[in-house]
Amino acid sequence: MAKTNIPHKTQIELWSRSAGRCEYRGCNRDLVGDLISGREDGTFGFVAHIVADSPEGPRGDPIRSLQLAKDNKNLMLLCATHHKGIDVDYLADHPEDVLLAMKAEHEDRIAIVAGIDEDRASYVIRFAASIGSNSALVDTRAIFMAMPPDRHPAEGKTIDLELSGCDYQDHEERYWTFQRDNLRRLFARKVKERIEQGEVRHLSVFALAPQPLLIELGCLLGDIVPTTVHQRHREPPTWRWQASQPTITFETTDPGNRPDATVALKLALSATINDERIHAALGPDVAIWSLTAENAHNDILRRAEDQSAFKVQLRQLLNRIKTVHGEEAIINVFPALPNSAAVEVGRVWMPKADLPMVIYDQNRSAGGFIRTIEIRP
């Protein structure tokens, strides 16, 4: 039991920053009834110390207990269950760093949600091969913190489009058929319906998945609603754009006037793609168009401006390919792209204007590029 009389002003600050809800991870229970009653020993609403206010208490310290006894940074608002849990029932599972992380997560989320401007609110799509096993890569808090100041999450949860467990392997045709159908069904139910009802007016996309499926997601998104597609960077590990990074130098190649040749489009920003690998998939008579980057590497796309420039270059290239090869051609696409750029490929493609695309994927089991999905109007 705490021995310190916490100043009223400090308690009000804690209640405000926590929005009157239990700060224990996953609880979020509304405790405002206790605030109204003013009862410190009520059913709800316990002001708990992270570092106990006495050296003998839970997580107590001979020096810091006294120093932090009235410090709001050392206080959590908890329901009765979790107050007892962290101090008595499961004390060993709740060291200081764990509780500090819970407090920060909760209060950061409250600050984000409370600061939402309706015109800047955006619904968040999270698309990952396995959201559960990739929690560090698609962590909700990291996603939400990457959105301001341009956008804010419209709600405190994400719209998850998760690739289902599948017994097929990615070198098998049925794998791509299954996953594509799963994505389309989830998108129709979780996203398209809400857009058609007028509920969703802007989307923010955070995606980590195989490139053909990212392109498919982009096709589903299209331009039906304004959308921002984010890129996760490796160093530092963040979803925030790095405005101070160097500009990408894009390069395009045109194979010349070969209207009857098989059409290949090489999109290589994350890694180089040798023409021999394309010939191995399509044969010798191939007209290879390309949009690549100087010094391609897997963490190249750092700036939102470069992503926009990539879309402009791709739009021009698709127009040029159609002009040279005609209305009956099919574009065989070989991507080695940052995840966000792969989504943008699908968004740039226009079903009523552009040629059909067949998307290839580099597959180690098959020893090269394999055909995956076909995108048609």
pLDDT, tens digit (0-9, with 9 covering 90-100), for 302-336? 999 999 999 999 999 999 999 999 999 999 999 99
Q: Return left, alpha or beta for 321; rule: phi > 0 is left, psi -120 to 50 is alpha, else beta.
A: alpha
**Scanning the structure block, which residue is given the tokens 């594509």?**
180
pLDDT of res. 282: 97
**CA nearest 208: which of 312, 126, 101, 304?**
126
Give every CB contact of residue 48 below 8 A, 6+ residues apart in sequence: 2, 75, 76, 77, 78, 83, 86, 87
Taking CA 209 as the corner, what is the angle to CA 375 and CA 126, rounded to the nearest 5 degrees? 100
**CA nearest 80: which of 46, 29, 39?**
46
Other C-beta atoms lying within 10 Å of the C-beta of residue 90 = 11
Residues 223 and 257 in one domain: no
Length of the chain counted residue by residue: 377
Residues 298 and 314 in one domain: yes
pLDDT of res. 167: 81
Looking at 97, 112, 127, the residue that finishes a domain is: 112
pLDDT of res. 130: 47
Residues 102 and 17 in one domain: yes
Residue 45 lies in a domain: yes
Q: How many domains does the chain have?
A: 3
Looking at 86, 112, 138, the residue that finishes a domain is: 112
Residue 199 lies in a domain: yes
For the chain, residues with pLDDT lower than 50 are 34-36, 40-41, 43, 130-136
Residues 62 and 154 in one domain: no
CATH number assigned to the domain comprising residue 317? 3.40.50
pLDDT of res. 135: 44
Residues 76 and 162 in one domain: no
Q: What is the distance of C-alpha 249 from the center of its chain?
A: 26
Residue 245 lies in a domain: no
Residues 257 and 368 in one domain: yes
pLDDT in tens, 49-98: 999 999 999 999 999 999 999 999 999 999 999 999 999 999 999 999 99
Residues 278 and 207 in one domain: no
Q: Which domain holds residue 101?
A: 8-112
Residue 160 lies in a domain: yes
CA–CA distances in Å: residue 238 to residues 142, 176, 241, 312: 7, 29, 8, 25
pTM: 0.72
Residue 308 lies in a domain: yes
Residues 371 and 254 in one domain: yes
Give every CB contact of residue 112 below 8 A, 6+ residues apart in sequence: 144, 145, 148, 152, 153
Residue 244 lies in a domain: no
Residue 180 lies in a domain: yes
Spatial contact of 23 and 77, defined as CB atoms under 8 Å apart: yes
The CA distance from 309 to 1, in Å, is 60
The CA distance from 357 to 375, in Å, is 5
Residues 136 and 74 in one domain: no
Residues 26 and 104 in one domain: yes
**CA nearest 86: which of 102, 73, 68, 71?**
102
- Rg of the chain (C-alpha set): 26
**Scanning the structure block, which residue is given the tokens 């270059």?**
313
Taking CA 312 as the corner, what is the angle to CA 306 and CA 313, rounded to the nearest 5 degrees? 90
Give every CB contact of residue 177 below 8 A, 6+ residues apart in sequence: 373
Residues 302 and 371 in one domain: yes
Residue 284 lies in a domain: yes
Looking at 79, 112, 145, the residue that finishes a domain is: 112
Helical segments of the chain, H only: 8-18, 32-37, 64-68, 80-84, 96-114, 140-146, 173-187, 193-196, 211-221, 275-282, 304-325, 339-348
pLDDT of res. 137: 53
Residues 106 and 129 in one domain: no
Average pLDDT, the chain: 90
